[in-house]
Amino acid sequence: MPIVESAIEGKSALKRVFIEVDRFQLQKCRFRCKAQDGMDFAFALENPLKNGDCVFETGTHCYELKQLPEKVIRVALPVTPSDAAQLAWQIGNFHQPVDIRDTYLLVSNDPALHRVLKKLDLKFDTTTEVFSPPPHSAFPAHQHVPGLEYDHSHFFGASHGTAV
């Protein structure tokens, strides 16, 4: 069984054999799975891989990761800034990862979000697509600036900030 430690530059002339993975596996650094031809693979990565990465070659084949599509909500991008802000606020309240495309957003298929989008009369549909939101760690964490802090809670009952 090959142990994959990183992606490789695949030769374009080789026949592709896909290793189908879901987006949660792609976020991991250690996992095992099978390619379409039955070959087992173990992954011991320093950094997660992405859809389309070639991870192993034989003389005739390149083994490539293929992310499985999943059921998602496709939301048309609102035209007005206020509608766009409202959409961003609502999705943010659900703490949903967002895959931003040119003319629409993809978010996880959540029945509660369906209800909110209907209530706001926003155009959306449910579809099956490859969902690739950036990892949460790709964005800076919020920080506390001395003198600009305000009292707020991160966890139930635990708060910090300026004491009044």
**Structure confidence by residue, pLDDT tens digits, 14-54:** 999 999 999 999 999 999 999 999 999 999 999 999 999 99
Does 83 score more than 60 pLDDT? yes
Taken in order of first residue, the domains within the chain and their CATH numbers are 3-67 (2.60.260.20), 70-134 (3.30.70.790)
Band the pLDDT of 138: cuts 50, 70, 90: low
pLDDT of residue 143: 61
pLDDT of residue 125: 94
Closest CA to 162 of 147, 154, 29, 153: 147
pLDDT of residue 161: 52
Distances (CA, A) of 103 to 5, 60, 107, 147, 152: 36, 40, 14, 40, 35
Residues 6+ apart with CB under 8 A from 5: 44, 45, 46
Average pLDDT for 113-119 = 91
19 vs 151, residue with greater confidence: 19
pLDDT of residue 26: 92
pLDDT in tens, 50-68: 999 999 999 999 999 999 9
State how far the Cα of 77 lies from the Cα of 126, in Å rounded to an integer.
Answer: 15
Element (H, E) at 18: strand 15-21
